[in-house]
Amino acid sequence: MAHDGIGARLPRKEDRRFITGAGNYTDDIVVRNAAHAEFVRSPHAHARILRIDVSAALRAPGVIGVLTGAELADDKVGGLICGWMIHSKDGSPMRAAPYAPLARDVVRYVGNPVAIVVAETKNEARDAAELVEVEYEELASVVDPAAAQAPGAPQIHAEAPGNTIYQWALGDKGAVDRAFAGAAHRVEVDLINNRLVPNAIEPRAATAIYDRAEGRFTLYTTSQNPHVTRLVLSAFVGLAPEHKLRVVAPDVGGGFWSKIFIYPEETVCLWAARRLGVPVKWAADRRESFLADAHGRDHVTHAEMAFDASHKIVGLRVKTIANLGAYMSTFSSSVPTYLYATLLSGQYDIPAIYAEVDAVYTNTTPVDAYRGAGRPEATYVVERLMDIAARRLRIDAAEIRRKNFIRSFPHQTPVIMNYDTGDYEASLNAALSAARYAEFPARRAEARSRGKLRGIGLSCYIEACGLAPSQAVGSLGGGVGLWESAEVRVNPVGTIEVLTGSHSHGQGHETTFAQLVAERFGVPTDQVSIIHGDTDKVQFGMGTYGSRSAAVGMSAVNKALERVEAKARRIAAHLMEAAESDVELKGGEFVVAGTDKKIAFANVALAAYTAHNLPPGTEPGLKEGAFYDPVNFTFPAGTYVCEVEVDPKTGAVEIVQFTAADDFGTIVNPMIVEGQVHGGLAQGIGQALLEGCRYDRDSGQLVTATFMDYAMPRARDLVSFNVSTTATPCKTNPLGIKGCGEAGAIGSPAAVINAIANAIGVERIEMPATAQRVWETCRAAQAAVAAQ
Amino acid sequence: MAQINVKVNGRAVSKQVEDRTLLVEFLRETLGLTGTHVGCDTGQCGACVVHLDGRAVKSCTMIAAQASGSEITTIEGLAKGDELHPMQAAFHRHHALQCGFCTPGMIMTAVDLLRRIPHPDEATIRANLDGNLCRCTGYHNIVKAIAAVAESGAGV
């Protein structure tokens, strides 16, 4: 039997349905008599709704109903929530304003849903939506986070004076002030972490069904965490109690966090299905995805770093304004706080750190987590500062990092985190060697002979994955526990079904989770099924985001497997008339040590179900469940090296080489892990070079609302990546897994920007480093040289 | 209403649809061939690519009536029974898909690419994927899979 346990490069079990067109995505699901929904959305960034007239729409062909915020309020449907409480530094709770699924009095961003039109066909719904008349009184708007708090800025919610949601701080201000006062060198930088649109290629979709006979709802939806969706819709929005609401997330076409949040559209479809008495189907088009899916990043930051005379960091001070958009999305408050400032120590031994974060409302689409979620922003701050410091202090970019690495573990940072293990020098060395860093000057000289400016940039990132433990998350304001559940069902014939609360939307859980079972029980992976994404099948779970599925989800599976093994061993020992302590599980068989007695795992399963001959007091069956709550975060880390060539005549940037050396601890399937890194790198490089979500400052219109205006990375924008791993297994979970899903997006933007800055010979260039921006920067740099 | 007479994956189909029906809507909604996907509304993402008389087209930028009289192959018609097309097999072997949503269009584009250019270098492969977006793979393994099929000569 081929080895398909932990460490095998096993091709994916789930592939066949996707490559043959047999995937089952939400919009593919056909429900008899389903009606189609179209949302009427605000065309204004900020306006008062004076009047809504739905009479013409109601008369249109095929229309079943048109519902507005007034009906929603009549039915006492609750508002959407932000599930993480943040307190300002003065102790006051964050100023979260109500978030109605359909705006009733005021619209606060372009795309804010105002009404839902339900008709027999999609085209009829679209046509009728055009007939809904909404009279608005336009109000002044603000889209720029740096302008939102200014005196006289338009006021978006009465609950948040000055549009300020919270003014939060972390760290020891006094210690940082003292460190700066005594420092030999100080560097500072102003940065914008550009606003991004997640853009999973499958747009969000939902089909909502209400079964009148049972009083029970079913929601098929593009979700990364169906159980959390059910919990919020039950406990907060109040649409149905949990046992009367089934949420199914079938095949989901990418998420990147954007399909975690509980949004207005799915909520309204569910309510409309009951109110109108028909199943309601909705699928966003891409323009709607741009307007209505939570955006990411959007930070404005000033940061300063202080060094002693030997170039050791003595202090870091950061001030960030984070744009949360027009309403607070599900996890939005946690992103620029506990997922950001807690990572500002990077890979470095920094004795004093102080961060202040102001979160603000603006007249833009809500902003929440996007791949990396706070950690890319933190890495960008730290790694830009390290590069600028290296340049100013005239030392090598690798050496200044090496000099400041944390070298003993566990390491307590000044910003909450306790790193369990790592070897930052190992990944730095691996990356430098793979990137042929030492020979870079020759490549630069050769490029110069062709008129190109060649640059190299490093980024040594760290991230915290598998947010945990639940008690700590709760003490920091989190509204949910962040454990995971699993159930392992061994069938009488020895095939195995694993139910997990994790959700796979590209990560390959059907393969990797099966590899874990194969490793322990020696059964081929094709005899293992992984079941996820349906609240009727899996009792509860927290879903997939934050690179948590392997570290937390598989740890839960592992715990259930241990319990199954213990019971199976007891039965096997009884059947072989041996002492339990003499029985070992090897290659799919229980063997009695030192004898030729053995029994196949499948036969033990059969014995468990026939129950003809079980040890006294043993219940029939072979099925165990487990909940796993991690004791700490995991801390993947690594070094990325980007090498670029800039054409100073056009500003075009070509990535000529990108090298990644990551430490993810134990790796279950290297092929899948490499794929995760590739995808993350593409998104991070996209942020650095191409992607920028833009609002018109005056009108508040989203001007990048199609793939023609928002530059997504395409194949020719990228190169084949040079990826490798080093490993220090995580010490706080049983499998040693750290997680790999977000690293690429976290580490790469700084590497790209550092490389461009290095090529041009400047300190600063903003993301996205478009050809125009690079050309302007080259011109300014040339002018500065000429002026000297 | 428009009368559509097409051959889809080898089967003759005659249907009446609303004039404004897009080819992709005809395939997905009228014929239930949901392997062809819609990822945008501006012809940019390529999730909807099918073969029309042997050439790759974006089925979202074509009215179904325009396709009448044509032979169409969708992702569902690419394999011969249980035997995968070499491009499908290569996407599996080289892990050229993650969430799978862009995959049908990507595979149909890739097959057409090797029909036109049997032995492309990496830059040519990348340039010819310009009409297909993937948000998961960073294209690395897609390029690898296509190059592997080209090298094996099994592409067409």
CATH number at residue B117: 1.10.150.120
- Is A656:A643 a contact under the CB 8 Å cutoff? yes
As beta bridge partners, residue A628 has A484
**Tens of pLDDT along A614-627?**
999 999 999 999 99
Cβ neighbours for A204, distance < 8 A, ≥ 6 positions apart: A221, A222, A258, A259, A263, A265, A266, A283, A284, A289, A292, A293
Among A275, A292, A309, which residue terminates a domain? Answer: A292
Residues A693 and A761 in one domain: yes
A244 with A322, same domain: the answer is no
Q: What is the DSSP string of A139-158?
A: ------HHHHTSTTPPP--T
Are residues A595 and A665 located together in one domain of the fold? Answer: no
Q: Do the chains contact at A714 and B92, CB–CB below 8 Å?
A: no
Across the interface, of B39, B100, B122, the residue whose CB is closest to A251 is B100
Cβ–Cβ of A19/B98 closer than 8 Å?
A: no
Asked if the structure places residue A774 within a domain, the reply is: yes
* Residues of A whose CB is below 8 A from B88: 19-20
- Per the DSSP assignment, residues forming a β-bridge with A637 are A462, A663
Whether A661 maps to a domain, the answer reads: yes
Inter-chain CB pairs, A–B, below 8 Å: 182
Angstroms from B21 CA to nearest CA on chain A: 9
pLDDT of residue A340: 98
The residue of chain A nearest to residue B93, with distances taken between CA atoms, is A11
Same-domain check for residues B6 and B71: yes
How far is it, in rounded angstroms, from Cα A116 to Cα B30?
25
Kindly state whether residues B72 and B15 are assigned to the same domain. Answer: yes
Q: What is the pLDDT of residue A788?
A: 83
B52 and B90 share a domain? no
Same domain membership, residue A654 and residue A592: no
Let me know: does A433 contact A673? Beta carbons within 8 Å.
no
B72, B90: one domain: no
Over residues A410-421, mean pLDDT:
97
pLDDT tens column, A225-247: 999 999 999 999 999 999 999 99
CATH code for position A521: 3.30.365.10
**What pLDDT was estimated at residue A23?**
97
Q: Which residues contact B98 (CB under 8 A, 6 or more apart)?
A: A254, A506, A507, A508, A675, A679, B136, B137
**Shared-domain flag, residues B64 and B10:** yes
Residue A657 sits in the same domain as residue A724: yes
Name beta bridge partners: A67. A116
Among candidate residues A597, A628, A659, the one where a domain is terminated: A628
Could you identify the residue written with the tokens 């398909």?
A4
Q: Please indicate whether, in this complex, the C-beta atoms of B102 and A201 are within 8 angstroms of each other.
A: yes
Same structural domain for residues B100 and B42? no
Per-residue pLDDT, A545: 85
Shared-domain flag, residues A273 and A305: no
Check pLDDT > 80 for residue A500: yes
The pLDDT confidence band at residue B156, using thresholds 50, 70 and 90, is low
pLDDT at A547: 80
Amino acid identity at B47: A
Between CA A385 and CA A381 the distance in angstroms is 6
Regarding whether A343 and A281 lie in a shared domain, the answer is: no
**CA gyration radius for chain B?**
15
A409 plus A422 within the same structural domain: yes
Tell whether B116 lies on the interface with A, counting CB pairs under 8 A: no
Shortest CB distance from B41 goes to which of A199, A202, A287?
A287
A496-500 β-sheet, strand order: A528-531, A496-500, A484-490, A623-628
- Which residues on chain B are in Cβ contact (under 8 Å) with A671? 95
The last residue of one of the domains, among B17, B48, B77, is: B77
Judge: A744–B138 Cβ closer than 8 Å, yes or no. yes
Same domain, B63 and B91: no
A193 lies in some domain = no
Using pLDDT thresholds of 50, 70 and 90, give the confidence band for residue A1: very low
Are A303 and A248 within one domain?
no
Residue A154 included in any domain: no
Give chain A positions within 8 Å (CB) of B84.
19-20
Nearest CA in chain A to B141: A675
Cross-chain CB nearest to B92 (options A11, A28, A200): A11
CB A458 within 8 A of CB A639: yes
Number of domains in chain A: 3
Rounded to a whole number of angstroms, the distance between the first and last alpha carbons of chain B is: 37
**B92 and B71 together in one domain:** no
* Range(s) of the domain holding residue B111: 86-152
Specify whether the CB–CB gap between A772 and A659 falls below 8 A: no
Closest-approach residue (CA) in chain A for B27: A28
Question: Is residue B55 within 8 angstroms of chain A, CB to CB?
Answer: no
Q: Is B22 on the interface with A (CB under 8 A)?
A: no
| Closest-approach residue (CA) in chain A for B89 | A19
Which position has the token pair 């989203």? A702
B73 and B124 both lie in a single domain: no
Subunit contact B35:A706, Cβ cutoff 8 A = no
B79 touches chain A (CB under 8 A): yes
Q: Is residue A307 part of a domain?
A: yes
Return d(Cα A214, Cα B65) in angstroms, integer: 44
The whole-chain average pLDDT of chain A stands at: 96
Pair (B8, B70) in one structural domain:
yes
Strand order in the sheet with A353-360: A164-171, A353-360, A313-323, A299-307, A185-193
Residue A354 placed within a domain:
yes
Which residues in chain A have Cβ-Cβ distances shorter than 8 Å to B103? 18-19
Contact in structure between A743 and A638 (CB atoms under 8 Å): yes
- Of the residues A15, A220, A257, the best mutation for testing chain B's interface (the one with the most B CB atoms within 10 Å of its CB) is A15
pLDDT of the residue at A103: 98
User: Is pLDDT above 90 for A548?
Assistant: no
The verdict on A666 and A681 lying in the same domain is yes
Where among B26, B54, B77 does a domain terminate? B77
Residue B121 has pLDDT above 60, yes or no: yes
Last residue of a domain, one of B44, B77, B110: B77
> What confidence tens digit (pLDDT) does each residue in A157-166 have?
999 999 999 9
Output the domain CATH number for residue B62.
3.10.20.30
The verdict on A502 and A451 lying in the same domain is: no
Does A424 share its domain with A499? no
Residues of the domain holding A113: 31-139+202-253+259-292
pLDDT at residue A58, rounded to an integer:
98
Q: Are residues B18 and B39 in the same domain?
A: yes
- Within 8 A of B130 by CB-CB distance, chain A residues are 714-716
Which domain CATH number covers A271? 3.90.1170.50
Taking an 8 Å cut-off on Cβ atoms, the answer to whether B99 and A253 are in contact is yes
Residue with tokens 């089934």: A246
CB pair distance less than 8 Å for A11 and B137: no
- How large a percentage of chain A has pLDDT more than 90? 94
Task: Please give the distance of CA A743 from its chain centroid, rounded to a whole number.
Answer: 11
Q: How far apart are CA A352 and CA A345, in angstroms?
A: 9
Residue finishing a domain among A628, A646, A676: A628
Q: Which residues, 6 or more positions from A472, have their beta carbon under 8 angstroms from its beta carbon? A: none
Give the pLDDT of residue B155. 65
B59 in reach of chain A (CB within 8 A): no
Of A507, A508, A720, the CB nearest to B143: A720
Classify residue A473: in a domain, yes or no. no
Structural domains of chain B, count: 2
**What DSSP state is assigned to residue A296?**
B
Domain identity same for B73 and B102: no
| Closest chain A residue to the Cα of B107, Cα to Cα | A19
